[in-house]
Amino acid sequence: MADITLDLKKPLDKMTAKELRDLVINQIPNIQGASGMDKEELIKAIKEVLGITDEEGGASPYKAQILSMKAQMKEMRAKKAAEGVSRKEKDILRRKVNKLKKRTRNMAQAS
């Protein structure tokens, strides 16, 4: 584990395989065979050399909120599908479900 410092413009996960290969070839000579590696292998090798550990499987801080929003969406969809609901009410429910979907996606991305 050498003391290698990299000034990256974006996170490793967001970089393309070509950018990662160039990074390894030019700045991290410890890694051999970079030209034949795919993106996942390159990221794994870079993290190994730099001593970065993955923290996967961590619970989202918004998980409870997301689940409650999804339950609300399910109720709204059931109400929308019921007989005797006016067109105006269906439109309102559809828009509310759409907003909740956007919020859940944003919360999931933020975590």
pLDDT in tens, 55-105: 665 567 888 999 999 999 999 999 999 999 999 999 999 999 999 999 999
pLDDT exceeds cutoff 70 at 44: yes
Cα torsion at 96, 97, 99, 102 (round to 10°)?
Answer: 170
pTM score:
0.49
Report the pLDDT averaged over residues 4-29.
84
